[in-house]
Amino acid sequence: MEKIIVALKRALDYNVRVRLNADGSGVVTEGAKMSINPFDEIALEEALRIKKRGDAKEILVISIGTAESQQQLRTGLAMGADRAILVETDEDLEPLAVARVLKALIDKESPELVLLGKQSIDGDNNQTGQMLAALWDRPQGTFASTVAIQDGIATVTREVDQGLEVIELRLPAVITADLRLNTPRYVKLPDIMKAKRKPLEVLPLKEIGVDSANQFRILATEAPEKRQKGIVVNDVGELVQALSDKGLV
């Protein structure tokens, strides 16, 4: 296998406490710590392990977003990716538009495998990988907990509601990473310094030539209701009465 593409999304760090804008227009990101979407980081780690086993020669990381997304791409390069492409835009693209952009880059780069996280922790849509496979007309293995490559076949163990499902995909294919696929490596300072010398290409979104128009409009963003304080009961009778008072039994 010559090439693996890994999609990386810039997202709020999972340790950041989410706060909403006062006008309900969305989540506060100004001044907040941003990181690689955790599921995408797992996807990159898997690509690096595949390359280390000798099953791939090059890893290309791609991100779509503002110029600040170069930071996440540099982190991906420090982890071990060979080069990076940023499709620069100030627009907040929906999953279908993201899939269209990735498909355009696939046509240009001709990878044998595309890896990305099963979902992003901000939108939680879980759609991009599936849409990309449909646009590319290639098989997909979503929610992967193990991946093995041999003789042009990817064997993927998927986490499904009933347990585990094992499928075989003939490459080229799309695979989305689940949480238990691996544990991403820590980036060391020497690798960060080396990453500064690796190629990072910036392409304006308009040069990609795809339809990126949003089809949905977010009307408002609201925080969930605060959890009510619980009560202490002394016996089963009080428990049943308390549930009855709330209309639960």
Domains of the chain in start order, with CATH, are: 3-245 (3.40.50.620)
Per-residue model confidence as pLDDT tens digits over 170-194: 999 999 999 999 999 999 999 999 9
Query: Which distant-in-sequence residues (6+ apart) come within 8 Å of 185 by Cβ?
Result: 45, 48, 79, 80
Residue 25 has a pLDDT of 76
Q: Which helix (H) or strand (E) holds 191?
A: helix 189-195
Residue 228 has a pLDDT of 80
CB 10 within 8 A of CB 69: yes
How far apart, in Å, are the Cα atoms of 72 and each of 25, 77, 115, 136, 192? 25, 9, 16, 26, 11
Residue 93 has a pLDDT of 93
Vertex 43, ends 38 and 49: CA angle to 5°? Answer: 125
Instruction: State how far the Cα of 57 lies from the Cα of 42, in Å rounded to an integer.
Output: 19
Residue 32 has a pLDDT of 84
pTM for this prediction: 0.87
DSSP 223: P
Instruction: State how far the Cα of 122 lies from the Cα of 102, in Å rounded to an integer.
Output: 19
Per-residue model confidence as pLDDT tens digits over 40-59: 999 999 999 999 999 999 99
Residue 191 has a pLDDT of 93
Residue 40 has a pLDDT of 97
Residue 139 has a pLDDT of 97
All residue ranges of the chain with pLDDT < 50 are: none
